[in-house]
Amino acid sequence: MALVTRTGSLSYKMLNHRVGLLARWLLDQDFEKGDRVATWLPKTELACIMPLAAVRAGLVHVPVNPILKPAQVKHIIADSGAKLLITNAGRIRSLIDMPVDKSCIVWDDSAVSSDTDDITDPVGAGEISDDIEALAAILYTSGSTGRPKGVMLTNTNLSLGAVSVAQYLKLKPDDHTLCVLPLSFDYGQNQLLSTWFAGGCAYPLDYLTPRDVIKACAREAITTLAAVPPLWVQLVDQDWSDDAVRSMRRLTNSGGALTPTLVKQLREIFGGKTDIYAMYGLTEAFRSTYLDPALIDDNPTSMGTAIPFAEIMVVGAGGEIAAVGQEGELVHAGPLVAQGYWQDETRTAERFKPAPAASHYGGTAVWSGDTVRRESDGLLYFVGRTDNMIKSSGNRISPTEVEEVAVESGLVAEAVAVGVPDERLGHAICLYVRPATWEETGVLEKDLGTYLKRNLPNFMHPRDIVVMQEFPKNPNGKLDRNALAKAGNI
């Protein structure tokens, strides 16, 4: 089997056939080569096969996160110039008061599925286009720092990304991948593509609670589970049945760093037989690094080293390669680098710039804006985003360092440190926390404050500790640091 959804399962032969049918339906709509077609759907069969069908028809797929609101969808449709939006009846009704551009045709997914059932001449692979450098998809970022940006990905970007991940995860034809992340998220979409490259079976899941994930792991004998830290934090708080754990071969994390505590908790649940992969990536280059799972227990905060097909450099302020132990900007070169932001030359020029002179690949590189360092053993460590670094009393403070110490206290499950204006310091640290167990807020603040004073230098002590029941998250399930920063600045 290649794909198992709520409505049924598809073998690889049938998957290829369904892709061909949907590609033919798209061609019958008289689109021109390179036109954009969007989907705003839960993880249905159609949503899963559209990335392949659009490419086969010579079109560009624009997946829209199903949790976005009509105003955000309207922006993405207008910005991408999509000629088609496939969604379901409920979402169509939600667009009545805020319709998309008139040049975009809106189709009910059930009607599309019905039409494709009547097609007798599916499009074969390579029949319309075999241009590997053609634009294949535009993935819109979450927009936590402004309006979402459309990242342009080619066939090469997507296919090599699938090969790379399948290779370093050691995926096999008998693997079962539970796809819980949004398919509009590069990490989520790659779960399908890398699994299919390896010949495994993908199980898309729209879950309501963490228990739904665990039940699916047991029911489908899942071997591969990917998540972002906020979801892992929820999952380790659950009771895992033997059936849910027994078949698990690998856990993969991206979208934020794993903490030593979280690694330990995962190890307690899954034992030593399950590999834990820490990964780092950015939509503009898909994935940059991974940590060999054999190293994670001794190096739980490391980002690891470059994935296949990626060249990762730590670059100093003068453009030179940073020395061992020296902080610098992570720069990614190679064939996984995206083609820039859709119709946004200004922001493209800020992020996509010529690779450093020392680069092996050369060409255009993604300058990530993330500060990292490389140690003598070659392992990389995340320091912080350049635009998130807190400058207090003349010191550059990594929010990550404060957050890790807070979580290691055992008093909190999650922590986010942001800089807030302060007349005396320039910026002070405001630490938002979600308690590990609920107790009187004042007691938690006192105990955590005492722990931080004992384990952090004076200039890194938070001015404020704010206890929250839940953190704001962006559409991809990652913590929305920008929303907290805005709240702290009010």
Is residue 19 a contact partner of residue 49, using CB atoms and an 8 Å limit? Answer: yes
- What's the residue count for the chain? 490
Task: Give the number of C-alpha atoms closer than 13 A to the C-alpha of residue 330, restricted to the C-beta side.
Answer: 31
- With 0-12 CB in 10 A as exposed, 13-18 as middle and 19+ as buried, what is 208? exposed
In this prediction, residue 142 carries a pLDDT of: 62
In this prediction, residue 436 carries a pLDDT of: 85
In this prediction, residue 465 carries a pLDDT of: 93
The DSSP result for 93-110, as a single string, is HHTSSSPPPTTSEEEEHH
β-bridge pairing 84-87 and 36-40: parallel
Tokens of 89: 């009846």
CA distance 92 to 443: 49
Mean pLDDT, 10 residues at a time, the chain of 490 residues: 96 97 96 97 97 97 92 92 96 91 94 92 86 94 66 96 98 98 92 98 96 98 93 93 98 87 94 95 92 95 96 95 96 97 94 96 95 96 80 75 88 89 81 84 87 86 90 79 65
Task: Give the number of C-alpha atoms closer than 13 A to the C-alpha of residue 416, restricted to the C-beta side.
Answer: 25
Residue type, 188: G
**387 Cβ contact list (under 8 Å, min separation 6):** 145, 369
In this prediction, residue 143 carries a pLDDT of: 47
DSSP state of 31: P
Domains 6-130 and 163-332+347-385 share a fold: yes
CA distance 249 to 462: 40
**118 Cβ contact list (under 8 Å, min separation 6):** none
Residue 382 zone, left/alpha/beta (φ > 0; ψ -120 to 50; rest): beta
Residue type, 187: Y
In this prediction, residue 145 carries a pLDDT of: 43
Is residue 224 a contact partner of residue 171, using CB atoms and an 8 Å limit? Answer: yes
CA distance 464 to 455: 17
Give the CA distances from residue 82 to residues 61, 105, 283, 344, in Å, rounded to whole numbers and listed in that order: 9, 9, 20, 16
Selection from 40, 102, 49 nearest residue 72 by Cα: 40
Tokens of 374: 């490389």
CATH code for the domain defined by 390-489: 3.30.300.30
Taking the alpha carbons of 295, 299, 300, 304 in that order, is the dihedral positive or negative? negative
35 phi and psi, to 5 degrees?
-65, 150
Give the end-to-end CA distance of the chain in Å, rounded to a whole number. Answer: 53
In this prediction, residue 198 carries a pLDDT of: 98
Q: Which fold has domain 163-332+347-385?
A: Rossmann fold (3.40.50)
In this prediction, residue 38 carries a pLDDT of: 98
Structural domain 6-130, CATH architecture = 3-Layer(aba) Sandwich (3.40)
- The position carrying tokens 């730590």 is 314
Give per-residue pLDDT as tens, 76-98. Answer: 999 999 999 999 999 999 998 88
Task: Say how many C-beta atoms besides its own lie within 10 A of residue 143's C-beta.
Answer: 16
Beta bridge pairs of residue 39: 63, 86
Task: Give the number of C-alpha atoms closer than 13 A to the C-alpha of residue 372, restricted to the C-beta side.
Answer: 30
Maximum C-alpha span of the chain: 73
In this prediction, residue 312 carries a pLDDT of: 98
In this prediction, residue 490 carries a pLDDT of: 41
Beta bridge pairs of residue 416: 432
pTM of the predicted model as reported, rounded to 2 decimal places: 0.84
Selection from 473, 470, 475 nearest residue 67 by Cα: 475
Q: Where are the domains of the chain?
A: 6-130, 163-332+347-385, 390-489
Give per-residue pLDDT as tens, 369-418. Answer: 999 999 999 999 988 777 777 877 667 687 888 988 899 899 998 899 98
CA distance 37 to 239: 42
Chain-wide mean pLDDT for the chain?
91
